[in-house]
């Protein structure tokens, strides 16, 4: 159902306030052909009412002819900023970039963040943004997740469906996605609410059994029959099953890049206002599937690049796979039990993260 501009302006005001936007700061709204017009006008209105100097940078889309879908994450690599120094300079000179285009997984994004500019990505339709508008409580819950992951040596994931995955940890940082940008040089994505890291290079091994109801993104489809992924030395080496497995294999193979089979980020969802069921309620082009990525108690893993974490792997293919009904252990501590966050651990950890 559509929402009123006033509601979305209020939501933007909340996000910008949590992002510590101050009068006189420069906000650049980065847009392209896929930008939602209501999100754009409400972002500009909210930032202007808060006293920011607001400008808009609109860039033509790229890679559409290479991608197999219109999803903004369907093909990574070059972006409209590649080889575009004036546009990069404008973003570097801004205190805050509101990314309504999708700059994720690009060297240009790193370059801009390194100057202290904050970047907040927002692509979901207005009513999803409004439902999942971040709060201080979301921040505390995600930081509690970070605390549980800190210093751990291995993540292990099991499920009644047959998943038994070993993910040695320690080489890569922990990332907290809570939906606003409260530190200089911080990137985040509204909506969010999850914690993740990356397995040590070449170390992930075991078996993943995707079961009925698990979600493939950017396919934005639910698996209808089991798909078994064999993982060895950090890569998926076999994809077995029926038609769903065949289609997944075909999609990845279309990129003709062995790096597309690497295990990328791994973590679990913490957002209680996100739902599994919303994916089935939207046209595929209307959403990028953040509900499934963030829903409390999922195990979210992905295939593809690790350059976001400081690794050297870049590949145009990136698939996020939120899984239901998994058990997630960090060292010997169980943090997700049969698809539910172990809430007693969270309450304990949240108390120490009040600010």
Which residues contact Fe ion by CB under 5 A?
302, 320
Q: Where do runs of H (alpha helix) occur along the chain?
A: 5-18, 37-49, 85-92, 107-113, 126-131, 136-149, 243-253, 290-294, 343-351
> Least Å distance between CB 174 and Fe ion?
15
Cα separation, 122 vs 102, in Å, equals 8
> Least Å distance between CB 48 and Fe ion?
32
Q: List the one residue out of 42, 232, 3 whose CA is nearest residue 122.
A: 42
Q: List the one residue out of 195, 248, 246 whose CA is nearest residue 221.
A: 248
Do the beta carbons of residue 5 and residue 41 sit within 8 Å? yes
- Smaller CB separation from Fe ion, 311 or 342: 311
> Least Å distance between CB 320 and Fe ion?
4
- Smaller CB separation from Fe ion, 108 or 320: 320
Tokens 């999100």, residue located: 39
- Smaller CB separation from Fe ion, 116 or 173: 173
Cα separation, 270 vs 142, in Å, equals 7
- Smaller CB separation from Fe ion, 29 or 174: 174
- Smaller CB separation from Fe ion, 244 or 320: 320
> Least Å distance between CB 23 and Fe ion?
35
Q: List the one residue out of 91, 130, 117, 101 whose CA is nearest residue 9.
A: 130
Q: Angle CA(290)–CA(154)–CA(302) in degrees, nearest 5?
A: 30
> Least Å distance between CB 302 and Fe ion?
4
């Amino acid at each position: 159902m559509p929402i009123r501009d006033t509601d979305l302006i209020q939501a933007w005001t909340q996000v910008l306030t949590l992002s510590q936007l101050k009068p006189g700061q420069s906000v650049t709204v980065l847009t392209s052909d896929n930008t939602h017009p209501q999100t754009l006008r409400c972002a500009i209105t909210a930032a202007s009412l808060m006293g920011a100097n607001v400008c808009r940078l609109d860039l033509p889309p790229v890679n559409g002819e290479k991608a197999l879908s219109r999803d903004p994450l369907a093909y990574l690599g070059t972006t409209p900023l590649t080889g575009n120094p004036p546009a990069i300079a404008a973003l570097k000179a801004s205190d805050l970039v509101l990314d309504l285009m999708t700059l994720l997984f690009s060297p240009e994004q790193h370059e801009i963040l390194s100057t202290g500019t904050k970047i907040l990505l927002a692509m979901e339709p207005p009513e999803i943004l409004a439902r999942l508008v971040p709060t201080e409580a979301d921040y505390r819950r995600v930081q509690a997740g970070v605390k549980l992951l800190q210093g751990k040596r291995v993540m292990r994931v099991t499920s009644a469906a047959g998943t038994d995955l070993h993910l040695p940890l320690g080489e890569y940082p922990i990332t907290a996605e809570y939906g606003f940008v409260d530190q200089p040089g911080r990137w985040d994505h509204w909506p969010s609410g999850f914690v993740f890291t990356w397995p040590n290079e070449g170390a992930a091994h075991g078996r993943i059994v995707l079961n009925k109801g698990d979600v493939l993104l950017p396919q934005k489809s639910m698996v209808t029959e089991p798909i078994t992924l064999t993982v060895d030395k950090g890569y998926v080496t076999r994809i077995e099953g029926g038609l769903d497995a065949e289609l997944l294999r075909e999609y990845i193979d279309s990129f003709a890049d062995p790096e597309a089979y690497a295990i990328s980020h791994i973590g679990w969802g913490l957002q209680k206002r996100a739902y599994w069921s919303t994916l089935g309620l939207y046209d595929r082009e209307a959403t990028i599937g953040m509900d499934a990525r963030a829903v409390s108690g999922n195990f979210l893993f992905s295939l593809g690049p690790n350059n976001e974490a400081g690794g050297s792997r870049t590949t145009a293919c990136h698939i996020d796979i939120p899984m239901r009904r998994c058990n997630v252990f960090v060292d010997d501590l169980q943090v997700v039990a049969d698809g539910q966050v172990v809430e007693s651990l969270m309450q304990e950890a949240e108390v120490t993260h009040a600010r």
